[in-house]
Chain A
Amino acid sequence: MANLSGRRQSPLYHVIYIEREREREREREREHRIILQEVQMKGPYHKKALTNTAVKQKRSQLFTQEAQRQAALITDIEKIEVQYDGQPENCTLIMNKGMSTPYNCAQHINQMMMERSVLAEVDGQVWDMHRPLEDNCTLRFLHFRQSDPYYANKAFWRSASVMLGAVLESSFKDNLYVELCSYPSPNVRSGSFVYDVDLKIPEWEPSKEELRTLSGEMVKLSLAAHRFERLEVDASVALKMFADNRFKTQQIPQMAAQSTSGNTVVVYRIGDFVEVSRGPMMAGTSHLGKVSIVAVHPIETNEAQLFRVQGVALPRGFLLNHFAYGVLEKRAQQMNSGRLPLNISSTEPQTQASTL
């Protein structure tokens, strides 16, 4: 080959070139190894990091599948007689066994009953509005303005906690994998509803704006007017749903053991947020009116740094002047005295703050 440039080329030119190339290759390999080591230290290279959005979708999908499976089990529609006792007049309704809910009964009665009722009382037992009726029964509706709305208030407080859980799980960026722990048994007299949560942050003192944002998210959830869908599932299904939450995986077997059937737990869904709880819950998120998230207190456990998030709320339609509501908000800032979640890795028999 003619050397056009006229420059003399060393006979070793190609060898030197190849040597240099190899050296570069080796360098690159070294770099790759370092990166790989880093990745291996962090976790499996091929696996995507867990995000709350993905986990939420998975749970909601499992919920839908299970609901469809259970609905498919009912092949014949049987009729039941429901004796309604209350306003505007007592009546008998013919409903579908295992399908119709107290809410459906209210739809037959009138709009006010539909919108106002928080819970139902079926044969004297407190019943969710969206829980199918199982047999002939007597039916009453409970609401917030009865002379003693004990169960409605309690369900309201419990539902507010669950809604707070839903907000906490969806409000943070995806790089923080928020794990919900539990909430103590709802007690209105304590002045605040609570959710204990592992935010994967060592320290957090939320600013006023951050708290207001959380409150705003609660309002959005309330305006979305989701129903509290109820489903009784086998513990194995629940464990599959909550496989990505280390607290719930511990709580589910205990809750299943305490249930009447011995192996089932109740899961609720609002929008696409799924929560395991014994219930009962109010009919829908739209019952939540004025609400504010007021405080976040750190809780030490021996495995994780948890936070106790607290808020106060009133049902829709309860008007309170801003001064009086301010008094309630101020009181809700105090650390709630409800039972703390257990030390997660303790082996001794524990008194767990189970999700009631």
Chain B
Amino acid sequence: MFPRPIQQASAQSRVLYQIALPVALLLWLFPLLGVAVTSLRPASDLAAGNYFGMPSAIAWQNYVDVFTKTSTPMSQYILNSFKVTIPTVIGTLILSTMTGFALGVYRFRANLLVFFMFVAGNFVPFQILMVPVRDLTFGMGLYNTSAGLALFHIAFQTGFCTLFMRNFISALPRELIEAARVEGVAEWRIFWFIVLPLMRPAIAALAVLVFTFIWNDFFWATVLTTSASTQPVTAGLSSLNGQWIAQWHLVSAGSIVAALPPVLMFFLMQKHFIAGLTLGAVK
């Protein structure tokens, strides 16, 4: 194990380590803690210049205000986010289990070429896609709709997920598939009854990852949606920020609300989340 386990160190170092841990964490999360405290500070504190002292009261009211006292309530933006995120997760998983299966199981000449098309496409800067994707979305009459945004996300995320799924399926024991073929099982049945059940961990990992990526997307939200009835919460928060000039208690409460769903997702599905992110980090 590297570094040397702290249990083998002197008593002094052990105590030091136990103190250093919470101190480092506090420093690391400082911007977050600051915002969390500000989100509970009454507006009167900020007006009186009390930015860092103890809040004079706990103002849960700020959280109520971001849902009620805005031109568009946060709940609308959150709903819009779900309307984009959930179809994207489902669509991406369906497409990429299929592409991953094709590329992971079959050996054909164009295999590696198709695979690297997905991989390379996944790395391109969004800006090179921006104008044409916006025109395509316009052309289909889907500009400023959740469907327009979700369709693009499905296509783009399929690139990343194909990489993941294909590597996962390649690592499955080939004998399973060979044995089924000898038995004369049809190829689509191999996919449905043999491969798909084994892919559950990969599917879970990608579901959490794609959820987080799409929930946090800001660029495509600003390019493909414009009105409060369709903008996801990231774009919504940005426009609310414009209305709440210097009302940091509201900005903070709004930020925390917008961050909550992916944070909950992360803490509930931590194992899968990290398995997805660290794919390829070990041999």
Q: Do A and B bind?
A: no
Chain A positions near chain B (C-beta within 8 angstroms): none
Chain B positions near chain A (C-beta within 8 angstroms): none
